[in-house]
Structure 1
Amino acid sequence: MGSSLFQLLPQDVRREGERLFDVSMWCIGRDVTHEDNLLLRRGLTRERIPAGQRGTSAYSGALPGGGAFTLWGFGALCRVCGETVYVPRDGFSPSLVEEGHVVWPVFHAEGLGAPREPVTPDERSAARAAVVCLAGWLAGYEEWVAEVMGMGWRHECVAARRKAPPVPVEKLAVAWRGLASRVEALERPVVDESFAPVGA
Structure 2
Amino acid sequence: MHTAGTRGLGSLSSTDVQPLEPPSDDRWIETAEALMHDECWCWGQDVLYPDGNLLIRYGLERTAALGADGRTAGYTGSINDRGGVWLRGAGVFYSSGSGSGIFLGRYDMRPRVITRDAPPLDTWIERGLDAFPLATASEQGIATACLLVPEACAWIAAYEHWITEAVGVEHREECLERWARGETPAGEFAQRWDALGRGFRTETLFLS
TM range (shorter): 0.7 to 0.9
Structure 2 segments unaligned to the other structure (5+ residues): 1-23, 204-208
**Distance (Å, rounded) in 1 between the aligned partners of 2:190 and 2:162:** 10
Q: 1:89 to 1:51 in 2, by over 3 A?
A: closer
Within the alignment, does 1:43 sit opposite 2:59 as a pair? yes
Partner AA of 1:31 in structure 2: D
- Residues 178-197 of structure 1 aligned to structure 2 (within 5 Å): 178-183=195-200, 186=201
> Aligned residues: percent identity?
25
**Distance (Å, rounded) in 1 between the aligned partners of 2:138 and 2:42:** 35
Indicate the SS of the match to 2:131: coil
- Is contact 1:97-1:113 (8 Å) kept? no
**Distance (Å, rounded) in 2 between the aligned partners of 1:109 and 1:50:** 11
Offset of 1:50 from its aligned partner? 4.2
Corresponding residue number in structure 1 for 2:5:
none
> Pick from 125, 134, 138: which aligns with 1:108?
125
Offset of 1:116 from its aligned partner? 0.8
**Distance (Å, rounded) in 2 between the aligned partners of 1:51 and 1:94:** 23
Query: Aligned-residue CA RMSD in angstroms?
Result: 3.0
Q: 1:97 to 1:144 in 2, by over 3 A?
A: same
Say which structure, 1 or 2, has more relative contact order (CA 8 Å, 6+ apart).
Answer: 2
Q: 1:182 to 1:162 in 2, by over 3 A?
A: same
**Distance (Å, rounded) in 1 between the aligned partners of 2:185 and 2:27:** 19
Corresponding residue number in structure 2 for 1:67:
83
Within the alignment, does 1:126 sit opposite 2:141 as a pair? no
Q: 1:121 to 1:61 in 2, by over 3 A?
A: same
- Is contact 1:61-1:68 (8 Å) kept? yes
Residues paired across the two proteins, number? 175
Q: 1:104 to 1:15 in 2, by over 3 A?
A: closer
- Is contact 1:32-1:38 (8 Å) kept? yes
Corresponding residue number in structure 2 for 1:5:
none
Offset of 1:140 from its aligned partner? 0.6
**Distance (Å, rounded) in 2 between the aligned partners of 1:144 and 1:151:** 10
Partner AA of 2:198 in structure 1: S
Corresponding residue number in structure 1 for 2:194:
177
**Distance (Å, rounded) in 2 between the aligned partners of 1:122 and 1:46:** 31
**Distance (Å, rounded) in 2 between the aligned partners of 1:38 and 1:187:** 34
Corresponding residue number in structure 2 for 1:152:
170
Within the alignment, does 1:12 sit opposite 2:27 as a pair? yes
Structure ID, larger Rg? 1
Corresponding residue number in structure 1 for 2:3:
none
Structure 1 segments unaligned to the other structure (5+ residues): 1-8, 189-200
**Distance (Å, rounded) in 2 between the aligned partners of 1:137 and 1:124:** 20
